[in-house]
Amino acid sequence: MNQTKLIKDIHDQIINYLEDQNKNVGLTNPNVSIDHLHKEFNISLDKSTDFDGIRNIIEKYLSLSVKTGSTNFYNQLFSGFSVTGYLGELLTAATNNAMHTFEMSSAASLMEIELINKMCSLTGYKNGFGTFVTGGSNGNLLGMLAAIYQFDPNIKDDGMFGSKVLTGFVSEESHYSFLKAANQLGIGTKQIIKVSCDHNGHMDPSALEQSIEQSIHSGNQPFFVGATAGTTVRGTFDPFNDLADICEKFNLWLHIDASWGGSVMISSKHKYLMDGSARSDSITWCAHKMMGMPLICTAALFKDSSILKKINTVEDTDYLFHDDSNQNMNLGEHSLQCGRRTDAVKLWLSWKYLGDKGFEKNIDHIFEMAQYAKEKIKSSALLNLISPVESLNICFQIQPDSLEKSDWNQFNILVREKLLSEGKIMVNYANINSATCIRLITANFKLKQKDLDYFFFELEKIVTELLNN
């Protein structure tokens, strides 16, 4: 078998996999275990195989993969399948270009610049710039790095030795990547202060101001506030205008982790959730979430168009970045990494196809599906909303009258595990205060009311079975 025939055969397998997604055939393989995987794959690299062996391995890999494009997949902050996004991924893999220099990826560089300008405009950054990064965590790190540079540009060359202890502030419901960034940048995780939230999960501005004042009183140096646009569990949006007022008062960098919720800026109906975003200094925006792109597709945007080059360039790189007519188009000088995929291609193709109106329609639709799910829960005597539905996160608890309240948490986990084991539906659970609840995410553009009806039917059927046993 030659490589061309292998590629054609694998494409046929992939098409079958995608068609099964559309038919909702076997969302997950309930028999997956470490022992089973070792048996099926022969994971060891001690012995090679031929193209026929590779084809068989790929076939097994597809059969064991969770069908995240299915309308029965509610587990993560991403779902669905984009044809243009997929085609962009094919182009990216087939061409195998890198984004560090214009001469390596001329068309992709122009696509990325166009996207960055578009996303900055939607954000409200009139003269902003940005870069595509390897996910939301990387974008949040880049925002924190820029904040350090703003505090003291000399730290870039001299390090933080001898400087005051830097302190950053995030909400208690923020993503863990802020702590990882503090570790990676040498600030220390203990210097990231968790600010309390209101009862619905929004960062409390008064608590933030109090925390900043306490840090100053302790002799430390506040430098950074990390707000969230769409928290991981509840999907809530922090009060950006209030936070911006405080950051301006204390001269702090305001970063918004909009990995989940940044895409609402495309929707006329829902962009109010991002009110005040234009007053931030930087934003992380993941298009592989609400915009349905294949992983990874994330942009880090900055109000100051010059900051990225300041924090990411070093000397003696003439072997890579040549002094020529296109040197201002070398996007590697603005990015944290050198070797970087052409992730912009899939988003540019998709935006070219759908346009603003197409993405807006999709986003409005999944918000409508979230509201439909909310109403289903409100009408049920068995289910109870644990947190208001602000975006696409529906957090509810199964509360059977026949069980003691103290048993509800474990029962919700049991129901979720039963759903997963049957291989038809995948949904996650989370903890909000003392309640363990089911967290349903309506991120798939193809989602219909009948799909949610099926979800709640299967859920209540399993509840009945478990209670009767």
Give the integer Cα–Cα distance in Å for 292 and 309: 30
Average pLDDT over residues 41-58: 87
Cα–Cα distances in Å, from 155 out to 146, 178, 181, 187?
11, 20, 16, 12
pLDDT, residue 288, reads 97
Structure-model confidence comparison of residues 336 and 1, the more confident one: 336
Average pLDDT over residues 296-311: 95
Structure-model confidence comparison of residues 87 and 312, the more confident one: 87
Are residues 204 and 196 in contact, defined by beta-carbon separation less than 8 angstroms?
yes
Give the integer Cα–Cα distance in Å for 71 and 154: 51
pLDDT, residue 65, reads 87
Q: Is 13 helix (H, G, I), strand (E, B) or coil?
A: helix
pLDDT, residue 326, reads 64
Average pLDDT over residues 386-391: 97
Domain boundary assignment for the chain: 3-67, 88-351
Are residues 67 and 26 in contact, defined by beta-carbon separation less than 8 angstroms?
yes
pLDDT, residue 163, reads 67
pLDDT, residue 22, reads 74
Query: Of 103-117, 271-285, 297-311, 428-442, which range is least confident?
Result: 103-117
Is the pLDDT at 297 greater than 80? The verdict is yes
Q: What tokens were used for 457? A: 């039917």
Average pLDDT over residues 301-315: 89
Residue 193 phi, psi dihedral angles, 5° rounding: -95, 125
Is the pLDDT at 316 greater than 70? The verdict is no
Query: Of 21-35, 68-82, 195-209, 267-281, which range is least confident?
Result: 21-35
pLDDT tier for residue 76 given thresholds of 50, 70 and 90? very high
Give the integer Cα–Cα distance in Å for 291 and 264: 9
pLDDT, tens digit (0-9, with 9 covering 90-100), for 219-242? 999 999 999 999 999 999 999 999
Is the pLDDT at 313 greater than 60? The verdict is yes
Are residues 201 and 234 in contact, defined by beta-carbon separation less than 8 angstroms?
yes
Average pLDDT over residues 351-372: 98
Q: What tokens were used for 361? A: 């329609």
With a CB cutoff of 8 Å and minimum separation 6, the contacts of 308 are 129, 130, 131, 142, 146, 302, 334, 335
Give the integer Cα–Cα distance in Å for 134 and 340: 8
Share of the chain above pLDDT 70, in %: 95
Residue 324: CB atoms within 10 Å: 12
Is the pLDDT at 321 greater than 80? The verdict is no
H or E element at residue 458: helix 449-468
3.90.1170.50, 3.40.640.10, 3.30.70.920, 3.40.50.300: CATH of 88-351: 3.40.640.10
